[in-house]
Amino acid sequence: MVTKSEADAHDKVLDAAYEIAELIQRCGAVGIDEPDLDALALYLAQNAFLVRAILQAVRPGR
């Protein structure tokens, strides 16, 4: 059985994946079909700690 906190954590990952997919779609420069985009966005959201570590050195506006 899934606990409420586990369900909430999963919902947050899905929300983040949705936002990531929207961001990628808005740029318009990436030709990727929807199932692949969804899979990529979900992967990035599930690995947010790694993505955050990779992007930590990037400064806005540079």
Is 45:13 a contact under the CB 8 Å cutoff?
Answer: yes
For residues 59 and 40, give the distance between their C-alpha atoms in angstroms, rounded to a whole number: 24
**Any residues with CB less than 8 A from the CB of 37 and at least 6 apart, and which?**
21, 24, 25, 30
Residue 62 domain flag: no
Q: Total domain count for the chain? A: 1
Domain that holds residue 21: 4-55
Nearest to 18 by CA among 30, 26, 28: 26
Whether 45 is in a domain gets the answer: yes
Q: Enter the pTM of the model.
A: 0.82
Helix (H) or strand (E) holding 57: none
Domain for residue 28, yes or no? yes
Percent of the chain with pLDDT over 90: 79
- pLDDT tens, 18-36? 999 999 999 887 888 999 9
Q: Rounded to whole angstroms, how far apart are CA atoms 43 and 51?
A: 10
Q: Looking at the domain assignment, is residue 61 inside a domain?
A: no
